[in-house]
Structure 1
Amino acid sequence: MKLIMIAMFIMVFPLVGFSKTVKICADKNYWYPFVFTKDGQVTGLQTDIIKAALTKAGFEYSITPLPWKRCLSEMKKGKVDAAATASYKAKRAVYMNYPKDAATAKESNWRVSQVAYVVVSLAKDNYNYSGDLKTLPQPVYVPSGYSIAEDLRKLGLKVDDKAKSDLNNFKKLKRIKKGSVVTLLQLAQAVIKSPGMEDIFVIQKDPIKSKSYYLPFSKKSSLTESEQEKNMGCDSFCS
């Protein structure tokens, strides 16, 4: 999978002499392999990219795992500077600075990475996803606070987004034996390889959506707007 580092814009707009600590919150959910917590530390492909980019640019940083809704709330209040990571949503852009092309690009040049969402159905249902989201077995389970839930609701689908994690949604689908899970391809593959899961779930072949994920900054960050514009190139690409 092609990963595009946020270090691209940092190299174009160097952060020489930057000494503030950037406070970052990350989803506490097991969002494997992109963002997850191991031994109390946030890790994963996306966080590794972010850490490497910020270190190279001379940033001090801290990354704290939080429930996603709380992470977004902290962004709104400016209690954290950035979120690792978030897709673009217009209502988030009210309080987050995104790359300029985030609202329109299918694969932004400034993304941390591209993420594909797939449908996981029950093997017993013999369901075959053919591109029509309205045919998804319902309810559709999505973690709490995830923007994909809103996308599916707009299509009139019944969405259950009460669970805090994808893993909880898999357990719920297994227990209730009705509906489907929308999640990351890599995470779905890891779950299905778990003992006792191989014959229960089926990953649908075609992804339902591919989204760019970013390291957006809070508009109420401890970094002033002028510092964001000068030191991060926001005058060139941030909304």
Structure 2
Amino acid sequence: MKRHLICLVAILILNIKGGVVAEELLFNTQDFPPFNYTVDNKVEGPAADIIRGACQALSYNCKFKLLPWRRAISEVKEGKAHGLFVIGWNKERDQWLYYSPPLMETAYGFFVRKSNTLNYSGLKDIEGYRVGVFGPSNTSKSLEKIKQSMESESLSAIQIKMVSDDINIFKMLDDPKRNLTSVYSNKDVGMAIIHQVNLDNIRYAGSHKKLNYYFGLSKEFTDKKVADAFSKAVSDMRNSGKLKEILDSYHMQLAPLDK
């Protein structure tokens, strides 16, 4: 039934004088501060502000729903929502999502207790570590690749502890009795959790890789003209300086354009 409803929404997308007008678009996200969160039951954050700006420029009526991440993804795949944010790029998602231009740049890296002197610069620095990570997620996939690289280089590979609650994994690291050496996380997310939960025993020990965040629109349930219009609107916001202005207000870095 819900699939039929969203198809009816898609039918309301009309070509008018060469432009695209959408009656309504639904975006799913997760509680993922400082990128996405709620204030007074309203989804807020830099990506929400950017999408609202694009929707306003296009005269689209856009709505947001904050859900557990697995459900947020499944609803878009099932046609119960059109879009998803914020997301990193991977091959699997690229099969079913139209990606926006890059929005903000961030990094994945390692957090440790302050008693640990780690200053991460390479795989040898974390030999034998027991590393926690939120997942399944792009972050956990990245950590799995780290483990595989260590094994291929005959290093003492990390052990991975995957948890479906990112706050809980940081609390585990904060407690020396939990036998966790490190947490692999988005840097901005980890710093927000440390501040939110007052985990004064944890510090950031260095970045593993930089990455860009995007929003995506379902290829199955969103007209490509709508996706193209969104991409152009975001590009126009970049060119006008509006995108940087929004990100500056959140102390975040504008993503470089994809090559």
The bucket for the TM-score relative to the shorter chain is 0.7 to 0.9
| Pairing 1:20–2:54 present | no
* Structure 2 unaligned spans of 5+: 1-16, 148-157, 233-259
In 1, distance between residues paired with 2:125 and 2:106? 21
Name 1:125's counterpart in structure 2.
116
Question: How has the CA–CA distance of structure 1 residues 37 and 137 changed in structure 2, closer, same or farther, with 3 Å as cutoff?
Answer: farther
Q: What is the identity, as a one-letter code, of the residue corresponding to 2:135?
A: S
Name 1:57's counterpart in structure 2.
58
CA contact (8 A) 1:96 1:218 kept: yes
Name 2:34's counterpart in structure 1.
33
Q: What SS does the aligned partner of 2:199 have?
A: coil
Deviation of the 1:90 alpha carbon: 0.4
CA contact (8 A) 1:115 1:212 kept: yes
In 2, distance between residues paired with 1:60 and 1:151? 35
Q: What SS does the aligned partner of 1:207 have?
A: strand
In 2, distance between residues paired with 1:136 and 1:51? 44
* Structure 1 unaligned spans of 5+: 1-13, 100-109, 235-239
CA contact (8 A) 1:27 1:68 kept: yes
TM-score using structure 1 length: 0.74
Query: As a proportion of its length, which structure holds more strand?
Result: 2
| Pairing 1:150–2:141 present | yes
* Cα RMSD after superposing both structures: 2.7
In 2, distance between residues paired with 1:41 and 1:230? 27
Aligned residues: 204
TM-score using structure 2 length: 0.69
CA contact (8 A) 1:129 1:136 kept: no
In 2, distance between residues paired with 1:195 and 1:91? 33
Q: What is the identity, as a one-letter code, of the residue corresponding to 1:114?
A: E
Name 1:139's counterpart in structure 2.
130
The structure having more radius of gyration, on CA atoms, is 2
Name 2:191's counterpart in structure 1.
189
CA contact (8 A) 1:78 1:219 kept: no
CA contact (8 A) 1:115 1:211 kept: yes
Name 2:6's counterpart in structure 1.
none
Question: How has the CA–CA distance of structure 1 residues 186 and 93 changed in structure 2, closer, same or farther, with 3 Å as cutoff?
Answer: closer
In 2, distance between residues paired with 1:186 and 1:32? 8
In 1, distance between residues paired with 2:90 and 2:20? 32
